Structure 1
């Protein structure tokens, strides 16, 4: 873990460079000793039905959920959230300069006892 989930309005389909965003976020998370490389995951969801503000313009939106373990201290979750949001703002700065874009992010929590996982990727990144 963590999971990085991007939801974006369909009118942004050809304006996002999600591969670059994911690479930047993964590099940043891998550099943090709290996260094993094999547990970092990113994905995106295109949202077909949406409305922003008064609904009259070609407004767009990106919302990110960064899911972390609830066992991480609150201060750590806030610091990581601020760092990742700064990365998002930098990534989308040019897009916000060209069009109206609502950008948001929340840090969600995986709670022990209600999150189940099977992952054999960790073995690929273990150091002898």
Structure 2
């Protein structure tokens, strides 16, 4: 259950290819080897209404949250987080040049006793691997 939610300010629409960001995060997560491919889910949520810092025009943000199930130790999560955040930071480097952009990334460990999952994608990938 590595589920990424990327919230971003609407004023990034003309400056960032959000579909490319979603794919970059998905690929970076897969590269870590920490997550089962069938469980990776990345979604972006455009925030039309937001207020940042002192409220001046032109400020923008991207805030990413990763929810993972228990069972991955802190060192492994840190290593994966460093890789994913590093890839995303490099991609968004041009936005930092104007001093009006904030990027954050948090990892939250999900309590299995307080959550439910159902996923048929796992079976799809297994069947495709077996039968080409």
After TM superposition, the score normalised by the length of structure 1 is 0.89
Q: Is contact 1:36-1:122 (8 Å) kept? A: no
After TM superposition, the score normalised by the length of structure 2 is 0.86
Give the 5 Å matches for 1:78-97: 78-97=78-97
Change (3 A) 1:33 1:61: closer
Any runs of at least 4 consecutive aligned residues in structure 1 with deviations exceeding 4 A, and if so which?
none
Give the 5 Å matches for 1:23-42: 23-42=23-42
SS in 2 for 1:116: coil
Q: Is contact 1:68-1:107 (8 Å) kept? A: yes
Q: Which runs of 5+ in 1 are unaligned?
A: none
SS in 2 for 1:107: strand
SS in 2 for 1:113: helix
Quote how far apart the aligned CAs of 1:105 are: 0.8
Q: Which one has the bigger helix percentage?
A: 2
Q: Is contact 2:24-2:88 (8 Å) kept? A: no
Encode CA deviations 1:103-127: one digit per residue, 9 max, x unaligned.
1111112111112111100112224
Aligned to 2:19: 19
- What is the number of residues matched between the two proteins? 128
User: Equivalents in 1 of 2:49, 2:69: separation in Å?
Assistant: 30
Q: Which runs of 5+ in 2 are unaligned?
A: none
Q: CA RMSD in A?
A: 1.6
Aligned to 1:120: 120
User: Equivalents in 2 of 1:58, 1:28: separation in Å?
Assistant: 29
Aligned to 1:109: 109
Aligned to 1:73: 73
Change (3 A) 1:22 1:35: same
Aligned to 2:57: 57
